[in-house]
Structure 1
Amino acid sequence: MTKAIAFFEFGGTDVLRPIDVELPAPGPGQVLVEVRAAGVNPLDFKLRAGAMAAVFPVPLPFVPGFELAGVVRSVGPDVTAWAPGDEVFGAVMGGAHAEHALVPADLLARKPATLSWEQAAAIPVAAETAERALDVLGVRAGETLLVHGAAGGVGTVLLQFARARGITVIGTASEGNHAHLRELGAIPVAYGDGLAERVRAVAPGGVDRALDAAGQGGVLPLSVELTGSADRVLTIADFAGAAEHGIRFSGGAEAGESYNGRAYESALALHAAGALRLPLHRVLPLAEAAEAHRASEHGHLRGKIVLTV
């Protein structure tokens, strides 16, 4: 048996509870990973609250968690890339908030010894989302990209990916996160009333593309105004707003290709060069998953929330 955190019904953080589940055996294409750390993302609390039930139904009870770092314990019969004892990180289709998790072998990457478990667990979702968003938007070197919610887990990694590609980034964030954004090479602006004027002041040449990573009200039509076209705006956080304003929404599955491998390569290249920053907003033990959900729902994060096992 292995321990996990699950919800048996939709609701607030009080529906999360520890459970014992049978230790699974990996099937074809699968790897059983002994989890050392697991990331917490907005998708986790949205699924728990039932907000995604119509578009992302999950069986109950459900163990959340979509990214992890850990040690390979066993592999499926056709898996040759990994062996017991390998230190890895990667994405998983739920189930990471546990002592053990089954992971598709092709969604894993080797963890460098110089990368901590907590930092490695903060990479998969943010890196894949950043790589996909830059590709779907078609933003190129020399262009200016406006990012809403730039100080969060996704924004922090995306700023670094964009900078490595020669893209100028303007990031919206609270005043307390402006120094953080500058350290990542972005031009910070405060969100709220007067945002359009502040963006124009720091980007007199205009904004080429815009990404909404926060889902804050009002930023989508403003982004269309600043870029000049709905085709130049992408949201990864506001499905309803995208439909209302004729803007593209990217949630991952609809993209038609896997960005995980490319995303891991981009992150590891920056790490090897000593240029990857992975700030952790909070690190909590698995038993405090409910507190991690509360912090994630509250927002205004600087970096990722990670659970340790």
Structure 2
Amino acid sequence: MAADPNRFLNRAAEAKRSSKRVELVERFDPRAPGAWLDLVRDVAALANSGGGVVVLGGDVEEEQLHEELARYAEPEFEAFELHDINRAGRPTTAIVVDGVANTPLVFTRTGRYGSANGDEHVAFARGGLYFRHGARSEPATGADVRDFIKRQLDATRTQWLANIRQVMHAPDGAEVAVIETAERDDEGRPTLIRLTTDPHAPLYGQVDPDRSHPYRQKEVIREVNARLGGAVVNAFDVLSARRVHAISEETRPEFVHVPKFGSPQYSDAFVDWLVGEHGRDADFFPRAKAKYLATRPRRRASTAR
């Protein structure tokens, strides 16, 4: 996680009531109608609001939470950790949630459930964008959107200043290269770039990431399962494989592309790699999951499939 979880864990241990940064759920029963939907809504609202912690009087598996988030919200969101804490001498689960980067979490399907007496409830609507309003997770207002944009601009400004400092502290003899762009597309992006001052050098066209990396995570899972002949992998399996094998845009750009706004995109080569690894080792995904869970702050989750 980008943020220090301790600042939220202290609040989780001491909070007396829910607030903008803390959601207290005294009793969490994963089998109760709507329990997972309410939890997904609160995690999304905290992430969109800059981060916080959900305190649960009950147990929850990290893998299941990943699956529920992947089922109901986009873009992909992995920036949370589960911790076991004590509140008033009782074991409690704390889910520390980091703030989203660039793009807010939006619900892609309606979270609807029926209560024990037959009444229908809607935890969130398709297309809904939720933020924290005091102690509640509620649909976004104009002020929420403005605050979100401001946080993103502040983060971008901080990154710019860090880049400027790198240039200012460059060693003697270092040079800054300026790349001349040629044609641009309808959105203003360069379609051709020249990496030399030689006007006779060849031009190289921009690679369209929608063609080179056409899959979102859900489509990767669907494609892998289709090639393997059945429902074999889920979102947490893919996450575990990526983490254990250090697959990111920086390390394996041929596998992953991360747009400025939106979910990561994956290539056919990544799908081929997952299928190939499973072909070489039928326990590839269970092993990856076990290794990944062993690195997490909370290690009680079962690794059985």
Q: TM-score, normalised by structure 1?
A: 0.22
Report the structure, 1 or 2, having the larger strand content: 1
Larger Rg: 2
